[in-house]
Amino acid sequence: MSTNIDIELLNRNNFRNCLEALARPGDVFPIKPFADSSLMAMAAMLLYSEVSFYQQAEEDWNMIQALTNSKEVAAKEADYLFLNSPLEKHLLEAKAGDQQNPEFSATLICCCDLASGTGVRLSGPGIDGTKETSLPVTTSFLRLLAQKNNHFPLGVDMYFISGNNTLCGLPRTTMVEIL
């Protein structure tokens, strides 16, 4: 029995939740999987012919390339990095834009367990005062992220995606204090 997927509707709903996740850092939102994968759903939604990506994940990326006509490149050149886990080496390689073109930065999309991680206090746009939560990364990763995002508008945005089809956003404007 075949199942028809309305990819446009799926992408639109997931895009709304991704925007909400960046607008409300630290909050968790649902994401509907594509090809049984939340990571593939993010790729199908974000990629198109004029952007590039890097992937270190187990999914079948041939389908995404055929669907989006996006180019796979090295991590340091990629607009989007799709990762099985948040690794410091990828954060260091990710482009942060420049003063003339801060929009030429990378977005990291990492698979992880949202239920565990490092305790943090978030502040900045989208947060009323401060918010205490945990992020599924190490303290050294958070220190590197703070350095990478230290000169706004330069920096990287991040999405953390869990196996239970939920996501959390962390825009470059969010200040992260390790607890």
* 46 in a structural domain: yes
- Given a cut of 80, whether residue 2 has pLDDT beyond it is no
Flag whether 91 is in a domain.
Answer: yes
Q: What is the mean pLDDT of residues 121-144?
A: 95
The number of residues making up the chain comes to 179
Q: Which residue has the tokens 């959390």?
A: 168
DSSP state of 51: -
Q: Is residue 2 part of a domain?
A: no
In the predicted model, what is the mean pLDDT of the chain? 93
What is the model's pTM?
0.93
Alpha-carbon span 76 to 17, nearest angstrom: 27
Mapping DSSP onto H, E and C, the string for 145-168 reads: HHHHCCCCCCCCEEEEECCCCEEE
Q: What tens digit of pLDDT does each residue of 37-87 get?
A: 999 999 999 999 999 999 998 788 898 999 999 999 999 999 999 999 888
Q: What does the pLDDT average to over 20-27?
A: 97
CATH number for the domain including 165? 3.40.50.11310
Task: With respect to residue 110, please indicate whether it lies within any of the assigned structural domains.
Answer: yes
Of residues 59, 60, 91, the one with CA closest to residue 75? 91
Query: Which range marks the domain in which residue 127 is found?
Result: 7-178
Say how many domains are in the chain.
1
Give residue 173's pLDDT.
96
Is 1 part of any domain? no
Sheet holding 118-123, edge to edge: 130-135, 118-123, 175-178
Compute CA distances 139 → 55, 58, 146, 149, whole Å: 24, 26, 11, 15
Q: Are 46 and 167 in contact (CB under 8 A)?
A: no
